[in-house]
Every structure is written in C-alpha cells, then in structure tokens.
C-alpha cells in the first residue's frame, strides 16, 4: 500500500512549512537574523585595537648610570612597551608571577663601565612564554630596542676613536643591515589575524546548531518515523535547502563585513570564496543531519557537534602550523569543514590564489557533500522499508 496522493505536499507547501517553523521559533529566528551580527561585531570589538601597545615591563636598574637610563628610555620609546621601574628584583619577580607585568628586565651593575671597556655586558630579560602571542610581542620589542641601543653605542664608540664620518662609524658598528618586510598583514593587525579565523569558526558552530534545532522540530516521540514516512527525500532536501540558503547568505554577509566593512584586503576571487562558503554550509549541514539521524536526540547531537567543532580555531593552522601538529590533530582537523574553508579564505584573501590552487580544499569540502548524499540515500531506504513493513503488518 502506497501513501495516498492526496496526502502528498507540493514543494511550495514544504517550503511554506519551513517558513512557518522559522517564524514560530524565536531561537531559530534570532540565530538567523540579529544574534550572529551582534556576536560578530562583539568578537571584532574585542580585537578592534588591532595592535598591542603599552605592555608593562618591570625594569630593575642596578647600574644607575647615564647609559642604563638611556637604555630604559629606549624601552619606553617602543610603542609596544611601558616601563615600570622597580627597585627590588624580588618585587619585580612577584609582579611577573602575578601577571601584573609582561616581562622583567634586569640591568646589571657596571653596565656603563663594561660597555666603555668593550666587554659586552649582558642585560637579562624574562617573560612568560606560556602566553605565546604576548611573549612574542615582548621579545620582538625588546630585541628591537636592544638593537637600536647597541647600534647607537657602537656609533658613539667609533666616533670617540677618531672616526669623524658618521656613516663610516655606523657601517663599522652595524656591518650588515637587514630589511625584513611582511608580505601579508604587514602592520601585524591582530584583528585581521585572529578575527578573520574566529568568525568562520563561530559561524560553523552556528550552522550546526541551527540545523539541529530545525531537525529537532520534526521529532515525534524521539523518532523521525512519522516525519519521514512519506516524501522523506523531499522533506529533507527542502529543509536543507531552506536553511542552507539562509545560512549561505549569512556567510556572504560575514565575508562582506570582513572585506568591505572592516576594509581588510581581498586579493583573490569572490566566486571561489562564495563557492567555498556554500560547500562549507552543505558539509556542516551533513554532519548535523547525520548526528540527528543517528541519535534522534537534540542534546546528544548538540554534544557531539560541540565536541567535534570546539577545537576548530586551534586546528585551523592560523595560530599553530599544521605541519607541526601530531597525526591525531591532523586527522581530527580533516573532519572539520571550516578548517578546509579557511584555507580557501586565506589563499584568496591574502595570496590572491587562482582556482587551481584552491581546488584541493574545495575537493575535500566536496567529499563532505558526497558523504551527506550517501547518508541521505541510506536514510531514505531505512524509513521507506520501515514504513512498508508497518503497512504490511
């Protein structure tokens, strides 16, 4: 016995059902309209300053000479550092342990005397490398200040030895000059560095939550038998198309906000980026669908989706190189769609890469789609067989 043709719904009616579901569910409506925009702007606001400035460092001056005061002035002149003079090293170590300062610098006794005698005194600096970004900034700023100060001392020494040409004195004190230029994100903007990866990671979680909530609305007695008894394929397809289209538009809005609203560079193809966005939406929908069909329980599906996507930002390869990750981390990142999307975004936005260079990541995202199609096909067979069995019984 086949389902009556009079009970079948048209595609238009199925889309109307999804619209009614969205209209009546305030959480779904919020997550597809104003809530992501507020969250995106909130994340951007946290890093909106872009550059790290005035990191406090404790300086213990044991020499109290003109040269040591000049060195401290060089620290203070660096825009990334702000000097806090501390008389006692024990107190300075306490400030470092309690994170009230980012680094501790100890200027040794007889700094000026040893410098004049060309004995290369050592200035000790300590920082907490547990905070990698902070430590890198402090390290870079201290090296920059030391380099400038050492060059000035070298020039002064050369001039005092009778070399009256400043350029010759500079050449003798700094025989090799380096010019290090960043090719991308040249001004080390942390908002661009972190937010451009954090927002897609947040957006992926949003996709899965929206899809799980939308699928949960069809559960009856913790089962999809009633919903998928008739027109299973059409119902699943319409739901994924309806919410997938809205989520894709949300992703386009996100990219527009980043590359036009925040004025971050976009050197590549928008077509390739939009294709990657679409594939990322479909791949994330596939995972949410599989979790809901497997467990037929919203809480469990949300838990597994959260466990899978929680390390997305760490596994993107933005803050830590992928090649140095252990094999399990590399395997896990392959299961997260946004890690492949971010490779396309970075290659397009920063490098201006062509389609061929982005094909490997797009191909991997496409494999998620094939997995989704296979899962949907198996689900259709499962519920069709179940419905037929019940009718025969």
pLDDT at 173: 64
Q: How many CB atoms lie within 10 A of CB 160?
A: 10
d(CA 70, CA 319): 36
**Max Cα-Cα span within the chain:** 109
| Structure token digits, residue 187 | 């001004």
Return d(Cα 137, Cα 289) in angstroms, integer: 43
What pLDDT does residue 219 have? 84
pTM across the whole model: 0.80
First to last CA, the chain: 11
Q: Which residue has the tokens 């309806």?
A: 242
* Cα 265 to Cα 184: distance, rounded to the nearest angstrom: 9
Q: Give, in order, the Cα–Cα distances in Å from 136 to each of 127, 146, 197.
A: 9, 15, 20
Residue 385 is predicted with a pLDDT of 57
Whole-number pLDDT of residue 391: 43
Ranges of the chain whose pLDDT falls below 50? 1-5, 391-393
pLDDT in tens, 33-55: 998 889 888 888 888 776 778 88
């Amino acid at each position: 016995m086949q389902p009556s043709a009079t009970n079948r719904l048209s595609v238009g009616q199925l889309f109307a059902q999804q619209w009614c579901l969205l209209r009546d569910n305030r959480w779904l409506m919020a997550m597809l309209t104003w809530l992501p925009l507020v969250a995106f702007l909130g994340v951007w606001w946290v890093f909106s300053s872009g550059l790290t400035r005035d990191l406090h460092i404790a300086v213990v001056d044991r020499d109290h000479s003109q040269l040591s005061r000049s060195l401290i002035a060089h620290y203070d002149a660096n825009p990334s550092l702000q000097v806090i003079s501390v008389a006692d090293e024990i107190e300075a170590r306490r400030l470092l342990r309690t994170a009230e300062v980012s680094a501790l610098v100890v200027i040794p006794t007889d700094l000026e005397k040893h410098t004049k005698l060309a004995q290369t005194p050592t200035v000790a600096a300590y920082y907490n490398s547990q905070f990698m970004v902070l430590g890198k900034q402090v390290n870079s700023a201290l090296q920059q200040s030391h380099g400038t100060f050492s060059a000035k001392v070298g020039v002064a020494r050369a001039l005092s030895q009778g070399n009256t040409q400043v350029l010759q004195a500079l050449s003798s004190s700094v025989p090799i000059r380096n010019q290090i230029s960043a090719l991308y994100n040249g001004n080390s903007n942390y908002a661009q560095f972190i937010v451009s990866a954090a927002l897609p990671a947040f957006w992926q979680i949003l996709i899965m939550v929206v899809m799980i909530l939308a699928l949960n609305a069809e559960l009856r007695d913790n089962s999809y038998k009633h919903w998928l008894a008739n027109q299973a394929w059409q119902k699943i397809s319409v739901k994924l198309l309806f919410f997938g289209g809205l989520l894709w538009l949300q992703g386009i809005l996100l990219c527009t906000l980043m590359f036009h609203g925040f004025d971050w560079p976009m050197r590549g193809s928008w077509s390739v980026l939009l294709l990657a966005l679409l594939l990322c939406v479909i791949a994330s929908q596939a995972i949410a669908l599989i979790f809901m069909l497997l467990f037929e329980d919203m809480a469990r599906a949300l838990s597994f989706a959260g466990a899978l996507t929680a390390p997305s930002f760490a596994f993107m390869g933005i803050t830590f190189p992928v090649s140095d990750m252990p094999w399990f981390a590399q395997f896990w990142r392959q299961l997260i769609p946004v890690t492949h999307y971010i490779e396309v975004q970075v290659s397009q936005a920063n490098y201006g890469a062509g389609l061929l260079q982005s094909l490997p990541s797009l191909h991997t995202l496409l494999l998620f789609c094939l997995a989704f199609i296979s899962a949907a096909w198996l689900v259709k067979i499962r519920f069709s067989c179940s419905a037929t069995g019940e009718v025969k019984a």
